Structure 1
Amino acid sequence: MNKRMMWMLVITAVVFGGLFGMKWFGNKMMNQYFDNMPMPAAAVSSAKAASLSWRSTISGVGTVVASQGTRISSESGGLVAKVHFESGAQVKRGDLLVTLSAGSEQADLARLQSQATLAKSELSRLQRLYKLEAISKSELDRAETDFRATQSAADGQRAKLAQKQIRAPFSGQLGIRQVDVGQYLQAGETMVTLQQLDPVYIDFTLPEKDVLLVDVGQSVKVTLDGQNDRVFEGVVSAIEPQVNVQTRNFKVRANVANADRSLRPGQFARAEIALPDVRKVVAIPLTSVSYNPYGNSVYVIVKAPKKAAAEGKEATAEKSKDELVVRRRFIKTGEARGDMVEVTEGVNAGDEVATSGLLKLQNDAKVIINNTVMPPSSTNPTPAES
């Protein structure tokens, strides 16, 4: 009985051992097959590293500012009698915008004018009497003083009355009106905004290291996020003489023509100043660069080494068809312009790099170049028209 049990255990162990052995051998052969299986060539687009001449520039970000802008308000309070403008209207300097009720002020002016007229008549009478030596010089001086006082009081009342008529201090475009007829306004309360939009200023900041590179009169190119297809030309009109101690930046103001009112105060703007010096750079498309925390890299396309083939008893060197492979290189990048980026180390002018399909590449992977569809590669890209 014990001998039979022992044989059963041995046979079971042999059977299961054989099954596991066959399974292990099959997996090994399958892995070996996949490891040695040739990978198909990946289709990529390519571009050659170009040697370009780039003019040095300095750039900053800032804000569009109206050449003149204010909130229209009144020096004195009062009831709105009439509104003479519409929201968004163009006005000229001196145009009447709002009239405040001024009944009591006009009555006071009439009273003061009457007093001034009476004081003038009294002064004329006393001047005649003084010539006849009928009165003293002190009486004449007192009459002259009374006349000047009443005249000044009338002039002051005219100034107060003029405050009831609010006029445009300069030519420009009005905003949305914030008053209505019958509304009572406090002194200093905003009625409407007024902006002069041609020209406009671009106020932007630059780091302190560029303080000696900027000068009044230099040309400036301005772009806006909402209008990437347009470049606005301007000139540097003013430079802040001191550097901000918190940010270590200094402010620059550029004057930009804005005849079509495309630039509006408060918009975010990017400004670029072109410097006179030109430098040679090696540039490649941005799409060819793999950006990683441990370093940026590109895949350079090179020819695969040729192999010798043996036929029969003699080994002869056989020319095989040129095959292309990629080699990964770590690079250092510099300034980016449009779709291109400067390479300061790792790539030479004329090297061919892969510009698409980077995720499916690895070192020594075979590739096929297909440039029928190419990623954009321009230093001054413009959006495609729809």
Structure 2
Amino acid sequence: MPDTFVSKFDSNIKPFLGLTFMSLFACSALMTGCKEKKEEEKTSKGPKGLVAEAYVVKQAPLSSIYQSSGNLLANESISVYPEVAGRITAIHFKEGGIVRKGDLLVSLNSSDIDAQIQKLRAQRKLQVTTKERQDQLLAISGISKQEYDNTVTQIASIDADIAYNQAQLRKLEIRASFDGIIGLRNVSVGAIVSSATLITTIQQIDPLKMDFLVPEQYKDIVKQNDQVHFTVTGNNDTMQGKIMAIQPQADVATHTITMRAIVPNSNHLLSPGTFTNVFITLNRKSEAITIPTQCIIPTTRDKQVAVVRKGKVDMVTVQTGERLEAKVEILQGLQAGDTILTTGIMQVKQDMPVKVKKITE
């Protein structure tokens, strides 16, 4: 065959063959794409799964905390006033110092009462001597019984006058009523005072009292002798006290009940009048089930939780109890060991496939 014919054949057939191979490749790619699209459509028609985080339910002790505000008070506190008018002759206490029960604080002028008592004692001595003589005369009927009785009555009357003046004398000595810390004095030696003159104050600060308010619905939960915890401004330590008394009547305006706790203060770090943040433990339970608050799905009729069982969602109706800051108590519907969803709960449906990517306890 001539070379010219062969070269012409090659030049004519090669473009045709190239086009044919390109067409076959395009058809193959088109068929593969259609197959993948059909498989994708088939897969999309199947059930959709959910990837979410979950929480394992367990039992643990439960106690809810109610926070209130309170004030520290002195266990005993008095303002010291004189019982009678008089002139101050001596002041026996140091401002801000510690005093004991019965310590003499202030002395008032007592010269006139001292003189009166001395006079009465002299009169009594004379009457006692007279009575001794009359005892002998009465024995020999040398004196009437009435005259003898008059002398005895005179002695008794003088004794009463002496006792009265001694009582008045004690009123001129102002003493501490109990152990405590004395305040600032408002008088000086030589001042004339009356029963309306404030001399100083005495406060007993070990222990202290703490008054705080609790809503009336807790009156049957918080009991006498229960422990309470509290903090004060400027001190990060949590301190405690014991409820000593409960006001039997609730306040009509606020519907709260006043409670009083006793607080140890042996180191004198706390002061009367200090504001406190009080924490009261309510509803103590040794075993309770609590779950994160966000796990609850509210409905028009009840509350539900999404429980994971065999890779699918089971919508369980629950009954809730005490609500805490970040958790809620479950009374019915769940048990220890159940796995519940904590995320994606607004998209879940009954029997929806679910894959747990993270579990917390």
Q: Check conservation: 1:234, 1:254, Cα contact below 8 A.
A: yes
Q: 2:134 matched to which residue of 1? A: 126
Q: State the shift of 1:126 in Å.
A: 2.5
Q: 2:292 matched to which residue of 1? A: 282
Secondary structure, counterpart of 1:116 in structure 2: helix
Structure 1 residues 127 and 166, CA gap change in structure 2 (3 angstroms): same
Q: Output aligned runs, 1:1-386, within 5 Å.
A: 55-227=63-235, 229-275=236-282, 276-277=284-285, 280=290, 282=292, 335=324, 341-342=325-326
* In 1, Cα distance between equivalents of 2:163 and 2:341: 80
Consecutive unaligned residues in structure 1, runs of 5 or more: 1-47, 285-333, 336-340, 353-386
Structure 1 residues 159 and 351, CA gap change in structure 2 (3 angstroms): farther
Q: State the shift of 1:122 in Å.
A: 2.5
Q: State the shift of 1:219 in Å.
A: 0.8
Q: State the shift of 1:160 in Å.
A: 1.0
Q: Deviations over 1:295-352 (max 9, x none)?
A: xxxxxxxxxxxxxxxxxxxxxxxxxxxxxxxxxxxxxxx65xxxxx42669xx98559
The structure with higher relative contact order (CA 8 Å, sep 6+) is 2
* In 2, Cα distance between equivalents of 1:67 and 1:50: 49
* In 2, Cα distance between equivalents of 1:196 and 1:167: 15
Structure 1 residues 215 and 53, CA gap change in structure 2 (3 angstroms): closer
Q: Check conservation: 2:228, 2:278, Cα contact below 8 A.
A: yes
The one-letter code sitting in structure 2 at the alignment partner of 1:282 is: P
Q: Check conservation: 1:116, 1:154, Cα contact below 8 A.
A: no
* In 2, Cα distance between equivalents of 1:70 and 1:49: 59
The one-letter code sitting in structure 1 at the alignment partner of 2:292 is: V
Q: State the shift of 1:75 in Å.
A: 0.6
Ranges of 4+ aligned residues in structure 1 off by more than 4 Å: 48-54, 348-352
Q: 1:307 matched to which residue of 2? A: none
Secondary structure, counterpart of 1:99 in structure 2: strand
Larger Rg: 2
Structure 1 residues 71 and 283, CA gap change in structure 2 (3 angstroms): farther
Q: Check conservation: 1:49, 1:283, Cα contact below 8 A.
A: no
Q: Check conservation: 2:61, 2:285, Cα contact below 8 A.
A: no
Structure 1 residues 233 and 145, CA gap change in structure 2 (3 angstroms): same
* In 1, Cα distance between equivalents of 2:106 and 2:199: 9
The one-letter code sitting in structure 2 at the alignment partner of 1:108 is: Q
Aligned-residue Cα RMSD (Å) equals: 2.9
* Seq. identity, %: 28
Q: State the shift of 1:205 in Å.
A: 1.9
* In 2, Cα distance between equivalents of 1:349 and 1:163: 78
* In 2, Cα distance between equivalents of 1:138 and 1:231: 78
Q: Deviations over 1:207-241 (max 9, x none)?
A: 211110121111111222343x0221111111122
Q: State the shift of 1:253 in Å.
A: 1.2
* In 2, Cα distance between equivalents of 1:235 and 1:179: 39
Q: 1:316 matched to which residue of 2? A: none
Q: Deviations over 1:60-104 (max 9, x none)?
A: 322211111111221111111111111100111111111112221
Q: Deviations over 1:124-156 (max 9, x none)?
A: 332332233222322222222211111111111
* In 2, Cα distance between equivalents of 1:75 and 1:107: 20
Q: Check conservation: 1:233, 1:256, Cα contact below 8 A.
A: yes
Structure 1 residues 207 and 124, CA gap change in structure 2 (3 angstroms): farther
Deviates more, 1:117-126 or 1:52-61: 52-61
Q: State the shift of 1:188 in Å.
A: 4.0
Taking structure 1 as the reference length, the TM-score comes to 0.58
* In 2, Cα distance between equivalents of 1:221 and 1:236: 11
Secondary structure, counterpart of 1:190 in structure 2: coil
Consecutive unaligned residues in structure 2, runs of 5 or more: 1-53, 295-322, 330-339, 345-361
Q: 2:24 matched to which residue of 1? A: none
